Structure 1
Amino acid sequence: MKRTISVMVGKGSVNHNSRKFHAKNTDPERSDRNVEYCNQDIREVYHELFDESLARYNEKQTRSDRRIDNYYEKICSGKQEKPFHEIILQIGNKDDMNVMTENGELAAKVLAEYVEEFQKRNPTLKVFSSHLHMDEATPHLHIDFVPFTTGSKRGLDTRVSLKQALAVLGFKGGTRSDTEWNQWVAAEKEQLAAVMQRHDIEWERKGTHEKHLSVLDFEKKEREKEVTVLEQEVDSLEAESAALAGRIAENRADIQGLDEVREEAEKVAEEAVERSEKAERQVKVYEKELDVIKPVMESIDRELKEFRGKIEDTLPPAATLERAASYRENKAKPLFIKMKNKIAALAARLTETMQELKAVKVENKELKEDNNLLFSDCNDLFKENAGLKNIAFMFERVVRVLGEDKVFMAVRQDEERERMEAERNRTEQAPKKKSVRKNLERAKENVTAREAEKSKKKSKSRDMER
């Protein structure tokens, strides 16, 4: 059996390779036959390969504008190197190795054996995504890798470089048609041919393999627009997911902060309610005291009226031959002074009690107003908390729909914007939190001032009684 070998440069659509979306030439019902050998986030690969080298590079820089914050983003925005490369390998074509035939199964088996040794054979080409597709016309293999070199004297000591990565493998370019890449592709064809030989398939060499490439290659130009649109839709969904995730992350932090403020407000409100109830009980005590004092004062008033007409019965009798001046100074006058002081003390006590009663009623009213204000703030916090929890539920739904890996990959892409949004949200939330805390502090100050004034009046009243 003779079969051709086709190797082409892939576009590098990892989302297409992992079937996050389907092109027209794929059969979704057969996608479960596809094989995923690896599918790692390329940003994680860059962290693994280059973070230590990047740290060493940044430490040497004396100018901040020469420091590199994100090596992956720098490579993507630059023109010297591609962030990664992809090759697509296929045995035969849709006519002689169709995926629905036994030959198609044999081709898949050969490609699976070939890919097992690819990373070991190419240590400077870090493979992060590799897929065997069985849902198109012909089995074919996608391999995505990051070429890197170590010990570099320019830039990072470990950096992205296809030319140097292939040079380490022994491929050094010559003429325009004999580049490092062409030499390496030719060598990989030989490796695939060796695997084919073990399965009794001979490599049919031809001058050009253009007409033997996969259906994906034949329809490449027609499907480029379709794939581009689908990738843009995926990127848009990832961006929306990242924005939503950023808001959720910040709102979750705000929920915790608002919960703390709400708990504090509830605590102060409970204290205010307790003080209000205590004040009401005190009012009842004062009212009872007033009920007791009132008849006493009425009795005193009656006794005073009667006293004016019965002075002779109230005053002690004069001694035999006692002089009038002596009687007035020694008996009558001390009695009148004593009665006057007693009456004045009772009148002062009554006045003080009435003032305290009035003050308690005012304090009770103010406490109720403060209590209403605190409960209003608590209700606002409850509503805001409920809204934030709804947003959190929406985020969890997005994770279920799009997948946790995809969502959090988008979050990492949007780290800088998340930081800016978080700063802006904190600035917007600050006045509201400040207002709530201000109300709490004002309520505490009002209660403390009233208690101090009340204590002062009680002390003054005790002094008068003494």
Structure 2
Amino acid sequence: MKRTISVMVGRGSVNHNSRKFHAKNTDPERSHLNVTYCRENIKAVYHELFDEALERYNAKQTRVDRKIENYYEKIRSGKQEKPFHEIILQVGNKEDMSADSDEGWLAAAVLDEYMKAFQERNPNLRVFSAHLHMDEATPHLHIDFVPFTTGSKRGLDTRVSLKQALAAQGFKGGTRGDTEWSQWVRSEKEQLSAVMERHGIEWEDKGTHDKHLSVLDYKKEQRTKEIAALETVKAEKESQVESQERRLKELAPAVKNMERLAADFSGDPEEILPEVGTLESGKSYREKKAKPLLAKIVQVLRSLYRAYIELSERLVDVQMKYNRVCGENSRLNDRMTEIWLENKKLRQISTDYTRVKRVFGPEQVVAAVAADKQREQAEKGRKRPRRSLERGGR
């Protein structure tokens, strides 16, 4: 039995991987078959890996502005390194290793054995989330990790660095096409192939994952990936909409409170001002009653005005974000519908093509396709000289 190996870079949607929400390409009725190896909070992992190094770094700084308060936020908001990386590994494809077949369970056993040795084999890639998915077309493994290096001479002595983490594990980049990452991926494929051999599967190494796919299968797979990615973005946008709605609800009581205060001091002055005491002089009334009351009213009005300005700005900001997110969500829904329809059409074409091969025989169909391609090439060849002559005649 020969099977291909696919290794892809994932988007790193931990919520999707742990099935906090389901994309259209998942079967929730099979999700109980998924395996969760670990699911840790990435911020807790950052504290574990870098807190001591961060303390040493900050202790050396003489300027307060050079100290780092939160290392995770610094990496997340920076541009030099990603907070974490994800790879997705798969044995075979949905045609020969379908998740609901015996071969699919064999692929799952291979990936399970491979996963259990991953962390020990990659000590500089701290795994914090890993999931084997059995509720999609083909079993596959998501591994999310934080790459780190120790003994660094700049910045923190223990810091985030994919390049240095892989270098510490023996992968030294050479040419542009032979980077630390490409060397490491090739090594991991070889590790996976060794596990496959123990299960009676030979690695069908075709150089790249995509080359062994037919054009239709490749397009369908790409559309499926795009739909999954859009589902992830959509879920994030929906979360943002809910957040903005909560903020609008939080602002409502403050607005009501402002209205109440304004009402308290918007009555008739005669009702607000205290009565003049018996034998009380005008000066005494002014100093002891009128001025304190006026000062209080001025203070309240100033507070109301400041609160009004702040709330108005926040309300406008929240409303703009809410409208923008709603618009983006609407566009995502349109795009997902468009891709779903295209994918449905591709599946129908692929099914019809399979039927044609079954009725007329695969050899005859392949020969007919080849003949038609030759006819198209010959037709193109006949057309080119005529266009050349026409241009020459002018």
Cα distance change on mapping 1:176 and 1:88 into 2, 3 Å: same
Equivalent residue, structure 2, for 1:124: 124
Q: Report Cα offsets for 1:311-344 as digits up to 9, x if no partner.
A: xxxxxxxxxxxxxxxxxxxxxxxxxxxxxxxxxx
**Partners in 2 of 1:39 and 1:185 — Cα distance?**
23
Equivalent residue, structure 2, for 1:157: 157
Runs ≥4 in structure 1, deviation > 3 angstroms?
A: 211-218, 234-244
Q: Report Cα offsets for 1:83-136 as digits up to 9, x if no partner.
A: 000000000000000011000000000000000000000000000000000000
Does the 8 Å contact 1:87/1:143 carry over to 2? yes
Equivalent residue, structure 1, for 2:224: 219
Equivalent residue, structure 2, for 1:230: 235
Q: How far apart are residue 64 of structure 1 and its match?
A: 1.1
Q: How far apart are residue 221 of structure 1 and its match?
A: 2.6
Matched, 1:186 2:186: yes
Cα distance change on mapping 1:226 and 1:100 into 2, 3 Å: same
Using structure 1 for the length normalisation, give the TM-score.
Answer: 0.50
Does the 8 Å contact 2:94/2:137 carry over to 1? yes
Using structure 2 for the length normalisation, give the TM-score.
Answer: 0.59
Equivalent residue, structure 1, for 2:299: none
Equivalent residue, structure 1, for 2:78: 78
**Partners in 1 of 2:43 and 2:237 — Cα distance?**
19
Equivalent residue, structure 2, for 1:144: 144
Q: Report Cα offsets for 1:407-463 as digits up to 9, x if no partner.
A: xxxxxxxxxxxxxxxxxxxxxxxxxxxxxxxxxxxxxxxxxxxxxxxxxxxxxxxxx
Equivalent pairs counted in the alignment come to: 245
Which protein has the larger Cα radius of gyration, Structure 1 or Structure 2? Answer: 1
**1:41-52 paired onto structure 2 within 5 Å:** 41-52=41-52
Q: How far apart are residue 224 of structure 1 and its match?
A: 2.6
**1:304-453 paired onto structure 2 within 5 Å:** none
Cα distance change on mapping 1:241 and 1:85 into 2, 3 Å: farther
**1:106-125 paired onto structure 2 within 5 Å:** 106-125=106-125
Aligned-partner residue type, residue 51 of structure 1: D
Q: CA RMSD in A?
A: 2.3
Unaligned runs of 5+ in 2: 250-394
Does the 8 Å contact 1:25/1:216 carry over to 2? no
SS at match of 1:119: helix
SS at match of 2:178: coil
Q: How far apart are residue 208 of structure 1 and its match?
A: 2.5
Does the 8 Å contact 1:128/1:145 carry over to 2? yes
Q: How far apart are residue 227 of structure 1 and its match?
A: 1.6
**Partners in 2 of 1:49 and 1:159 — Cα distance?**
8
Q: How far apart are residue 218 of structure 1 and its match?
A: 4.8
Aligned-partner residue type, residue 231 of structure 1: E
**Partners in 1 of 2:225 and 2:21 — Cα distance?**
16
Cα distance change on mapping 1:243 and 1:175 into 2, 3 Å: farther
Aligned-partner residue type, residue 87 of structure 2: I
Aligned-partner residue type, residue 38 of structure 2: C
**Partners in 2 of 1:238 and 1:107 — Cα distance?**
40
SS at match of 1:76: helix
Aligned-partner residue type, residue 115 of structure 2: V
Cα distance change on mapping 1:216 and 1:48 into 2, 3 Å: farther
Q: How far apart are residue 233 of structure 1 and its match?
A: 2.7
Cα distance change on mapping 1:243 and 1:15 into 2, 3 Å: farther
**Partners in 1 of 2:176 and 2:160 — Cα distance?**
22
SS at match of 1:104: helix
Equivalent residue, structure 1, for 2:59: 59
**Partners in 2 of 1:218 and 1:118 — Cα distance?**
30
**Partners in 2 of 1:217 and 1:164 — Cα distance?**
32
Cα distance change on mapping 1:175 and 1:241 into 2, 3 Å: farther
Cα distance change on mapping 1:77 and 1:243 into 2, 3 Å: farther
Does the 8 Å contact 1:129/1:144 carry over to 2? yes
Cα distance change on mapping 1:222 and 1:97 into 2, 3 Å: same
Does the 8 Å contact 2:90/2:140 carry over to 1? yes
**Partners in 2 of 1:170 and 1:154 — Cα distance?**
21
Does the 8 Å contact 1:4/1:92 carry over to 2? yes
SS at match of 2:145: strand
Cα distance change on mapping 1:25 and 1:53 into 2, 3 Å: same
Structure with the higher fraction of residues in helix conformation? 1
**1:173-322 paired onto structure 2 within 5 Å:** 173-210=173-210, 218-234=223-239
Equivalent residue, structure 1, for 2:2: 2
Cα distance change on mapping 1:117 and 1:59 into 2, 3 Å: same
Cα distance change on mapping 1:243 and 1:57 into 2, 3 Å: farther
Equivalent residue, structure 2, for 1:364: none
**Partners in 1 of 2:236 and 2:9 — Cα distance?**
19
Matched, 1:100 2:105: no
SS at match of 1:219: helix
Q: Report Cα offsets for 1:131-184 as digits up to 9, x if no partner.
A: 000000000000000000001010000000000000010001001110000000
**Partners in 2 of 1:126 and 1:200 — Cα distance?**
31
Unaligned runs of 5+ in 1: 245-466
Does the 8 Å contact 1:130/1:142 carry over to 2? yes
**Percent identity between the two aligned chains:** 70
Q: Report Cα offsets for 1:29-55 as digits up to 9, x if no partner.
A: 110000000000000000000011111
Q: How far apart are residue 207 of structure 1 and its match?
A: 3.2
**Partners in 2 of 1:57 and 1:239 — Cα distance?**
38
Does the 8 Å contact 1:15/1:231 carry over to 2? no
**Partners in 1 of 2:222 and 2:63 — Cα distance?**
47
**Partners in 1 of 2:247 and 2:69 — Cα distance?**
20
SS at match of 1:225: helix
Aligned-partner residue type, residue 99 of structure 1: A
Q: Report Cα offsets for 1:175-208 as digits up to 9, x if no partner.
A: 1110000000000000000000000100001133
Cα distance change on mapping 1:111 and 1:148 into 2, 3 Å: same
Q: How far apart are residue 229 of structure 1 and its match?
A: 1.3
Cα distance change on mapping 1:42 and 1:238 into 2, 3 Å: farther
Q: Report Cα offsets for 1:352-399 as digits up to 9, x if no partner.
A: xxxxxxxxxxxxxxxxxxxxxxxxxxxxxxxxxxxxxxxxxxxxxxxx
Does the 8 Å contact 2:25/2:228 carry over to 1? no
Q: How far apart are residue 228 of structure 1 and its match?
A: 0.3
